[in-house]
Amino acid sequence: QLVESGGGLVQAGGSLRLSCAASGRTFSNYFIAWFRQGPGKEREFVGAISWGAFSTFYADSVKGRFTISRDNAKNTVYLQMNNLKPEDTAVYYCGASLSYSRTYPSYNYWGQGTQVTVSS
């Protein structure tokens, strides 16, 4: 089970940190990815981290602004979002997959999502 938290309303240029807490099973061999879905849009890849290998991957649209990290002791993955833009407004989801992918059907486990709204 994955549970996201940390969303909210922020002004453009501001920051938020989202959390994805894993429970109920081990995700030690999984990639954890963040996706987002804006109004009327497809779910798009934001970034991913390998749970054990410390590798990170980012979409070009967020590279340099967003950072993914994880705390193994807390079974939690974080998405630090800086310099937020109105186009970052979306519901943000975390997902888990045994292999790295930028497409959401590849992910087997999902959280319920957390809303991020960036005002201009």
**What pLDDT score does 52 carry?**
73
Contact 31, 98 (CB under 8 A): yes
Question: Residue 113: which of 26, 35, 9 has the closest Cα?
Answer: 35
B/e letters for 61-94, b = 16+ CB within 10 Å, e = fewer, are ebeeebbbebeeeebbbbbebeebeeebbbbbbb
* 28 pLDDT above the threshold of 70: yes
Q: What is the pLDDT of residues 31-77, one digit of tens each?
A: 999 999 998 999 999 999 987 757 999 999 999 999 999 887 888 99
**What pLDDT score does 3 carry?**
95
Question: Residue 113: which of 101, 97, 98, 95 has the closest Cα?
Answer: 95
With pLDDT > 70 as the criterion, what percentage of the chain qualifies? Answer: 99
**What pLDDT score does 54 carry?**
75
